[in-house]
């Protein structure tokens, strides 16, 4: 799983030109796996895997399926539209992508649910879900 998480992180931080990308620029490189450090400045992006299951195909190759949840978190006063702009850039980077991951011939992501807002008092979070399908090379 570490290779898959690394591939996702690398994709969110990929250089799309000029040494950065729109997601990194919008969140000042605050992209975290599972949870952000306490008192992190906002906005930020947090991602994690859930509902993982593994299976073995012919030849013993492992297949992994699950859900990638990506959350864009910001101050409520900034508004949902500003967070939706960041989420749109996340969508562009991740939807229908085959990511390179050590030990996997294919790590494919497909968005299943985009930008569902949740108000948490002074914070707003937009959650997007992506289907994850990965196939090991051996």
Q: What CATH number did the domain enclosing 20 receive?
A: 3.30.2000.10
Contact 1, 68 (CB under 8 A): no
> What is residue 60's predicted lDDT score, i.e. its pLDDT?
76
The whole-model pTM stands at 0.92
- Domain holding 62, by residue range, is 2-136
> What is residue 137's predicted lDDT score, i.e. its pLDDT?
85
Assigned token pair, 53: 């299951």
> What is residue 52's predicted lDDT score, i.e. its pLDDT?
93
> What is residue 123's predicted lDDT score, i.e. its pLDDT?
94
The CA-atom distances, in angstroms, between 70 and each of 29, 76, 80, 137 are 15, 18, 15, 26
**pLDDT tens series, the chain, 138 aa:** 899 999 999 999 999 999 999 999 999 999 999 999 999 999 999 999 999 999 887 777 889 999 999 999 999 999 899 999 999 999 999 999 999 999 998 899 999 999 899 998 899 999 999 999 999 887
* Number of domains comprising the chain: 1
> What is residue 58's predicted lDDT score, i.e. its pLDDT?
72
> What is residue 71's predicted lDDT score, i.e. its pLDDT?
97
CA-CA-CA-CA torsion for 65, 66, 70, 71, nearest 10 degrees? 180
Measured in whole angstroms, the distance separating CA 7 from the mean position of its chain's CA atoms is 10
The DSSP output letter for 17 is B
> What is residue 87's predicted lDDT score, i.e. its pLDDT?
96
> Residues with Cβ < 8 Å from 137, sequence gap 6 or more?
61, 103, 104, 105
> What is residue 105's predicted lDDT score, i.e. its pLDDT?
87
> What is residue 106's predicted lDDT score, i.e. its pLDDT?
84
């Amino acid at each position: 799983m570490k290779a898959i998480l690394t591939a996702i992180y690398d994709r969110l931080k990929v250089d799309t030109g000029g040494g950065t990308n729109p997601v990194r620029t919008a969140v000042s490189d605050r992209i975290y796996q599972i949870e952000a450090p306490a008192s992190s400045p906002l906005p930020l992006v947090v991602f994690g895997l859930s509902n993982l299951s593994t299976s073995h195909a012919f030849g013993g190759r492992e297949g992994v399926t699950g859900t990638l949840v990506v959350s864009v978190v910001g101050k409520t006063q900034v508004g949902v539209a500003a967070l939706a702009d960041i989420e749109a850039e996340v969508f562009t980077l991740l939807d229908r992508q085959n990511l390179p991951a050590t030990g996997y011939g294919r790590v494919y992501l497909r968005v299943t649910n985009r930008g569902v807002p949740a108000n948490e008092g002074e914070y707003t979070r937009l959650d997007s879900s992506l289907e994850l399908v990965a196939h090991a090379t051996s």
